[in-house]
Structure 1
Amino acid sequence: MSEALVAVEAAGTDAPVPAASGARLFWRRLRAQRAVLVAAAVVALLVLVALGAPLLTALEGQDPTTYHPTLIDSARGGVPIGSFGGMSGDHWLGVEPQTGRDLFARLVYGARVSLGVALAATVVQVLLGVVMGIAAGLGNRWVDLVLSRITDIFISMPLMIMALALLAIVPSSFPRPVLVALIVGLVSGWGTLSKMVRAQTLTLKGLDYVSAARLSGWSTVSIARRELLPGLAAPVITYAALLVPQNISVEAALSFLGVGVKPPTPSWGQMLTAADVWYQAAPQYLLLPAGALFMTVLALTVLGDGVRTALDPRAASRLRVGTGRKREARADAAARKEDRT
C-alpha cells in the first residue's frame, strides 16, 4: 500500500510530507496524556517488583514463608513485637501478626501472584473472545446462531457464583494460581469481547480487500489471519487493557472469600482476609496490601482508558476540549515538525 501524503506549509512552500504512521500517532496521543504516563510508570514499577521479587527478598534476607515466632507477642494474641508492626533493618515493613512472616516478602510475592493470575486470565479471555467472534462473523447463519447463543449464556452467568462452585470442587492438588486464572478467563470477560469482534468482523468482511481475498481462493483461516486481525487489533488491545484491572479485582475477591489462592502462597486478597481482625493492633497489615491493590487497579484502569483514547480518534478529539487543548495542540505541532525533518 502506498504511503499517504499530506500537504503542509513548510518554509513558505507547500511540500508534501509523509503522514505520521499509526504507531507514531498512537504514541503521540498517549504521550499527550500526563495521567497515562504516570499510570504507565506505576505499572512498570509494579511489573519490575513482581519480576524481581526473589532479588528484593534476597536483599532483605527474608522469604515469604518462614515463620518468626520470636517476633510476635503470644501473650497479646500474636501482635508483632516492636513499633510499627515490628519494622526493622531485617524486616523492612514489619511482620505478620500470629505467624511472624515477613510482610515485605509476602507483599512483593503477592504482586507476582496477583499480576500473573490477571495477565494469564486476560490472555485466555482474549484468545477465546477473538476466536469465537471471528468464527461467528465468518461462519454461516447456523454457526453464527450457535456461537452467539453460547456467548450469551456465558455473559449471563454470575461470575462469582460460578467461580466459587468450580473452585470448591477442583482437587487441592491442582496449582491454585493456574486454576484461578483458568476459571476467571473461561467464565468471564470473553463473551463481551466476542460480540465486539463479531460485529467488527461482519463490517470488515464486506470490504473490497476481504472480498478480493475470498475470490482469490484464500482459506477462511488465511483471511482471518492476514486481513481481519490487523483491523481488529485496536479494539482488542483496548478491551484487553481494561480487562487486566478487572481480573486483579476478581482474583483478590476470590482470595478474600477463601476460595482463591491458598496459603502459604501469598496473595493480596488473601492477606486482606487475614488482616480484617488486625486493623487496630497492626494497621499496616491491612493498609499495605489494600493500598497496593488500590494503586494497581487505579493505574491499570487509567492506562487502559488512555490506550482506548489513543486508539480511538473520536475519543482523542474530545480531549482537545478543555484544559488539555493547548498542551495537545503543542504536542501535535511538535510531532508535525518532527515529521517534516
Structure 2
Amino acid sequence: MSEAVLAVEAPGVSAPGASGARQFWRRLRTQRAALVAAAVVALLVLIALAAPLLTALEGQDPTTYHPSLVDSARGGVPIGPLGGMSGDHWLGVEPQTGRDLFARLTYGARVSLGVALAATVVQVLLGVVLGVIAGLGNRWVDLAVTRIADVFVSMPLMVIALALLAIVPTSFPRPVLVALVVGLVSGWGTLAKMVRAQTLTLKQLDYVSAARLSGWGTARIARRELLPGLAAPVITYSALLIPTNITVEAALSFLGVGVKPPTPSWGQMLTAADVWYQAAPQYLLLPAGALFVTVLALTVLGDGVRTALDPRAASRLRIGTGRKQEAKAAKGGAA
C-alpha cells in the first residue's frame, strides 16, 4: 500500500520511481571504468548475436573442416604465418581440423554468454521466490527453506555438476543442460538467504503493515510492496553471478562434460588447445583472452552497478582515488 502513503520529502531528496532510475544512471555515469566495461559487454553481446552475419561476411562457418590448411606431416599445425591468418580466415584456423577460429570464437560467445545468462535467470528466480517465501512464511517454512539453502550453499558445485552431466543422455541439448545444472546447483542458495533477511526487514515497515491491515493478501504484498525494495540487492548480486557462471561453464567444458563438439565453446577450445600452445599459440590465447576480457568487464560492471545502487559503499575499483583528489586539493590550496 505504499502508493497510498503520502511521504514528505526533505529538500534535495528526489521522489522514487523514474527519478530513482535517473539517480542510478547519474551515479553510474561518474564511474568511467563501469562505463567502459558496459561498452565492452555490449560489444560482446552484439558479436554473439551477430555471429551468423559476421561469419557470413568472412565466408566461413564454425564446423567446416579445411584439411588443406593444416600440415599433416607436422601433426596438423596450421600452414602459413600466425596460425594461417589470411583474408579468408581472419584469425587463422584450428590445428588438425582447419576449422575457422573467428567463426568458432563468435559462436562460442553465444554459448558462453547464453549459458551464463540462462543459469543466472534460474538462480535469481529460485533465490527470490524461496527467499520471499521464507521471509513471509511461518517458523517451519522459514526453517525448511533456510536449511535447504544451506545444503545447496555447502554443496561442491564442480563435483555435483560433473556427476549430473555425466549421467544425462547425450540427446539432451547440452547448452540447456549446462545452464540448468549450474542454475539449480549453485548461486541461488546465497541469494535466497539474502532475500530472506531483506524480506524480514521490509515486512516490519509501516507501509507493509498498512497494506496487511487493509486486507491485502500475502502474494499481493510480496508483489507490490516487497519486490520493489528487493530490486537493488537482487540486481547487484545478479550482475556478479554472470561472470561466475561464465567461468563455471568454461571449467565444465574444459573438463569435458560441458558443451560437446561440434558446438563451439571457449572452454572447449581451451581443452583442445593445451597441446598446441607452442606450435599454434593463438589457438590458446584467443579463447583465453576472450574469457578474461568478458569476466573482467562483467565484474567491473557489476561493481559499478553495486556502487550506483548503494552510493554509501565505496567502490573497490577506486582505491586510491580519494588520496589523489586530496593531494590535488592540497596542491591547489598551496598555490
Tell me which of 38, 57, 60 is aligned to 2:58: 60
RMSD across aligned positions (CA): 2.1
Question: Structure 2 matches for 1:105-116, cutoff 5 A?
Answer: 105-116=103-114
Q: Which moved more, 1:306-315 or 1:193-202?
A: 306-315
Partner of 1:235: 233
Partner of 1:93: 91
The total of aligned residue pairs comes to 320
Instruction: Verify the 8 A CA contact 1:36 1:302 in the aligned structure 2.
Output: yes
Partner of 2:279: 281
Give the distance between the partners of 1:232 and 1:98, measured in 2 at CA: 51
Instruction: Verify the 8 A CA contact 2:304 2:315 in the aligned structure 1.
Output: no
Give the distance between the partners of 1:324 and 1:35, measured in 2 at CA: 17
SS of the aligned residue for 1:88 comes to: coil
Q: Is 1:144 paired with 2:142?
A: yes
Q: Deviations over 1:185-224 (max 9, x none)?
A: 0000000000000000000011111111111221111111
Instruction: Verify the 8 A CA contact 1:6 1:18 in the aligned structure 2.
Output: no
Tell me which of 210, 213, 218 is aligned to 1:212: 210
SS of the aligned residue for 1:185 comes to: helix
Q: Deviations over 1:225-249 (max 9, x none)?
A: 0000000000000000000000000
Q: Is 1:264 paired with 2:262?
A: yes
Give the distance between the partners of 1:163 and 1:317, measured in 2 at CA: 33
User: Structure 1 residues 326, 313: CA separation in 2 closer, same or farther (over 3 Å shift)?
Assistant: farther
Deviation of 1:96 (Å): 0.2
Counterpart residue type for residue 45 of structure 1: L
Gaps (5+ residues) in structure 2?
329-335
Give the distance between the partners of 1:45 and 1:112, measured in 2 at CA: 12
User: Structure 1 residues 17, 179: CA separation in 2 closer, same or farther (over 3 Å shift)?
Assistant: closer
SS of the aligned residue for 1:248 comes to: helix
Q: Percent identity?
A: 83
Q: Is 1:74 paired with 2:72?
A: yes
Partner of 1:130: 128
Give the distance between the partners of 1:303 and 1:196, measured in 2 at CA: 21
Give the distance between the partners of 1:49 and 1:222, measured in 2 at CA: 41
Q: Deviations over 1:142-191 (max 9, x none)?
A: 00011111111101100000000000000000000000000000000000
Counterpart residue type for residue 321 of structure 1: G
Deviation of 1:317 (Å): 8.9
Q: Deviations over 1:69-125 (max 9, x none)?
A: 111110000001111101000000000000000000000000000000000000000
Instruction: Verify the 8 A CA contact 2:37 2:298 in the aligned structure 1.
Output: yes
Q: Is 1:321 paired with 2:322?
A: yes
Tell me which of 191, 194, 206 is aligned to 1:193: 191
Give the distance between the partners of 1:189 and 1:325, measured in 2 at CA: 40
Gaps (5+ residues) in structure 1?
9-15, 328-341
Give the distance between the partners of 2:14 and 2:131, measured in 1 at CA: 38
Give the distance between the partners of 1:133 and 1:98, measured in 2 at CA: 50
